[in-house]
Structure 1
Amino acid sequence: MSRTIKQIYEEAVAERNKRMELAEFSSDSKLSILNGITWVVSAAIYSFESLLDVFAVDIAEVINSRVNGTPSYYANAMLQYQQGDELTVREDGLAFGYASVDESKRTITQVSYVESTDDQNLDSKLILKVATGPRGKLEAISAEDLVPITAYINRLKFAGTRLQVVSLPGDVLIPQLTVYYDGAVTEHDMYTAIEQELAKYIMEVDFDSTVYVSKVIEVIRRATHVTDVWIDEDAVPEQGVFLASYDDDGHLTAPQKVARMTHTSSGYLRESTGKDIESTLPTFRQSLKLIVDHGRAV
């Protein structure tokens, strides 16, 4: 960390005062020529040290992002995957790469990683979660397309590294809540306003980020005309914030109530389609219970 100009100046003056040949130029006045020169030099040294600090941070970031074999290395490599292109050995023979960069072929748009261990293997396994599509409208990569992706990362991985690439349909968010509103708009418009806020939340939430019950409630509260959001402990069906996830085999698991916070299995959220295997999972509109708030105690 760079020193301040004052620190540099004081150290320079203290060092200068140790030299007898400069004693006759000693002066307490900041307007003296020698003190003025010392201050200018101190400012120059401060600027140089500040540049070195910035340079050190930049270099550290580059090194951390390029250290081969780290989880970040594999995550960055997944984002560089180009569908349909073949990896070639670089001219120096030290690594694989593509002959040319084609952004249109980079189908993986989101990556996160987690390290897991089991009783059979002492070494941890790096699980890479991947998804495709724009933010807020992410989709799982098909099993067919996941085959060349796995082959790609297996060619890049280092000996002894255990990797698994997974891409699952998004976790279905089910906000089974009671929402009070002021009655100034129709029930249909109120549902629409809440759906828009929840859709915005899904659009903005980071990939593989934590899901908080309080955050979901806060998002619904943001909708105009909402006066309160309540988890009715006596309601049937049970109320709360639920997540329904898919397992590694593509099977939909039963919705799990979130106590306070949780992590998604797929890395991203979405609304129930209400069709096929998700026909039993309510959409946002179906899961919310609207009540006009008359201001009376309940």
Structure 2
Amino acid sequence: MARTINDIQQSIITDLKANFPNLSVSKFAEWRLWTYMVAAAIHAFEVILDLFRQEVDDLTTKITAGTKLWYAEMCYRFQNGHTLVFDKATSQFYYEQDDPDSRIVKVVAVNEGYKTVSIRVAKTDPEGRIVPLSEDERKNLADYFDTIHTTGIPTTIVSTTADTIRYNLNVYYDPSVPSSAVRENVAQALEEFKTSLSFDAVFYAQRLVDAVMHAKGVVTVKVAALEHKTSTETNYTPVDVRAELAAGYFDYADDNTLTLTSIQSL
């Protein structure tokens, strides 16, 4: 992890004082300015190294067959309606044509069970709503994984109607931002949160709150109620910390409650 500029500078100053005890003690001495410039350059280099290391780690994890990230990445690479070709030189399957429009999978959740991997997926409709794959699309994806996945580890492809999250939120906002704008900002934040879940098929209550907190104009949030149900359930279950998403993704209920209150009224 990259050291701070101050840490690097102090290390340089300590070494210089040990080797050159007669240096000026003035905080505005020219040599101190040079130590800052050198420290800033070293810090920038260490930040670049951290970014490079993270990029290498991410790529290594993605290309390691059998990991959760690998299954998720392969879902996103799936091209519906295209035929896989085997490359003898690399011993890998690939598509002869790169067709982004055929990459229909937009939401992925991967769970490991006993000697099996469950993959829950969904796509988006023309209006941008998250919807299940058709049966033909689901079957094509299953055939795709039967071709590329690790031998001996069966995969199950699930694509069902979204789980439902119902919320009752009290949002306290800065009155310098119009309440109508705050409401729009919160609505946008909630929509972005819905499509940004990780691939572990888990809804975390705190992350929803964090998403709302980042909306412009929001000062704080109080959760009056937060509930969840699957597509096969009739009644909602309260969400304390987390909820397992049977579909791997969720949509919001039609009867949510969002109350805006100026922070000045408290």
Alignment TM class, shorter chain as reference:
0.5 to 0.7
Unmatched runs of 5 consecutive residues or more in structure 1: 118-122, 178-196, 220-229, 232-239, 246-252, 272-282, 289-298
| Map 1:102-251 → 2, pairs under 5 A | 102-117=99-114, 123=115, 125-134=116-125, 137-171=129-163, 173=164, 205-206=194-195, 208-210=201-203, 243=229, 245=231
* 3-state SS in 2 of match to 1:26: coil
1:154-201 CA-partner distances (Å, limit 9, x unpaired): 211122323111112334x497x9xxxxxxxxxxxxxxxxxxx99x96
Checking the alignment, whether the CA contact within 8 Å between 1:139 and 1:170 is kept in structure 2 is: yes
Structure with greater proportional strand content? 2
Question: Which residue in 2 is equivalent to 1:64?
Answer: 61
Identity %: 21
Shift of 1:63: 2.8
Change (3 A) 1:270 1:13: closer
Match of 1:264 among 217, 237, 245: 245
Change (3 A) 1:2 1:128: same
Measured in 2, the distance between the counterparts of 1:164 and 1:28 equals 70
1:103-145 CA-partner distances (Å, limit 9, x unpaired): 121222221111223xxxxx3x210001122486333223333
Amino acid at match of 1:243: K
Measured in 2, the distance between the counterparts of 1:71 and 1:54 equals 22
Amino acid at match of 1:153: F
Measured in 2, the distance between the counterparts of 1:149 and 1:2 equals 42
* 3-state SS in 2 of match to 1:132: strand
Q: CA RMSD in A?
A: 3.9
Change (3 A) 1:265 1:37: closer
Question: Which residue in 2 is equivalent to 1:3?
Answer: 3
Q: When the two structures are aligned, how many residues end up with a matched partner?
A: 214
Amino acid at match of 1:98: Y
4+ runs of 1 displaced by more than 6 Å?
A: 200-203
Shift of 1:87: 0.8
Checking the alignment, whether the CA contact within 8 Å between 1:211 and 1:264 is kept in structure 2 is: no
* 3-state SS in 2 of match to 1:210: strand
Shift of 1:150: 0.9
Amino acid at match of 2:229: L
Change (3 A) 1:45 1:145: closer
User: Normalising to structure 2: TM-score of the pair?
Assistant: 0.63
Change (3 A) 1:130 1:35: closer
